[in-house]
Chain A
Amino acid sequence: MSLKINIPAPLRRYTEGQGFVEVSGDSVGSALASLVEQHPSLKGQLYNDEGRLRAFVNVYLNDEDVRFLSKMETAVKSDDVISIVPSIAGGCC
């Protein structure tokens, strides 16, 4: 099954500038694995040393945060779009 992953601007340096990468997979987890297989230098950006997705990496399947679906097990279908959205936060002290 073929679908696309939308890459945010700061990670495009690891995808030869591509904003969208075509991947294969039947779940969000396998689609992300396909992305990392094509662009191995993304691995350290997305996953921690234990192989878990970094806490600040939000993953959306179309309009839904996969944390509120079945996380990495969430099933995907052709023409779905997965978006990677690093979080934005901070504070003055």
Chain B
Amino acid sequence: MLVIRSGEYESLRRHGEETYPFECCGALLGRFQDGNRFVEDAIRCGNTRADRPQDRYNIDPKELLAIQRQADQRGIAIVGFYHSHPDHPAQWSKTDLAEAHWLSCSYVITAVEKGSAASTNSFVLSGNNEEDKMLEPEEITVLSMEETEANVAKD
């Protein structure tokens, strides 16, 4: 399961609308706990696929390195990534699976239809290696502002 606050969830969906008709992409920082991923921050990244941004995305590894360092400094981790599918369903494609290499991380996909964010789905990259990896659907739990505040108070 992916647990994300409403602010971060809406932010990643808006990102897809802002870059439409091109794909957006970003990283999710947070914690792995009990087989789930808890998102604390959604970080927007640039799409380096200038040759076909309408149906491909790539995050500059140098940008990813900076995000990885930021996560280490904050005592959290990269727990997933997100991107948009302009005028395509929020389902993973063969390209998404072939290019997914962060095992146990979430891959969140938002369908953006005619410029408006439609459905958002998340898939966890399961398996142990490149040969048996799979993108499996997972539940997204979006925490409201009240729930987020209640969790902070509990901690």
Contacts and interface: CB of A to CB of B under 8 A. Distances in A.
Given A83-B68, A85-B68, A90 B100 contact: yes
Which among B79, B83, B86 has the greatest number of chain A C-beta atoms within 10 A?
B83
B64 A89 contact: no
Interface in A1-50: 6, 8-10, 13, 19, 44-45
A45 B129 CA distance: 6
Contact of A93 (B49, B55, B61): B55
Nearest to A56: B101
A19 B76 CA distance: 11
Given A6-B68, A9-B32, A65-B62, A89 B103 contact: no
A91 to B, nearest CB: 4
Range of interface residues on A (Cβ < 8 Å): 20 to 34
Contact of A10 (B52, B69, B105): B105
Name the prevailing secondary structure of the B interface residues.
mixed
B38 to A, nearest CB: 13
Contacts of B81: 88
A10 B80 CA distance: 10
Interface string B14-57: 00000000010101000010000000000000000100100111
Interface of A: 6, 8-10, 13, 19, 44-45, 54, 56, 58, 60, 63, 65, 83, 85-93
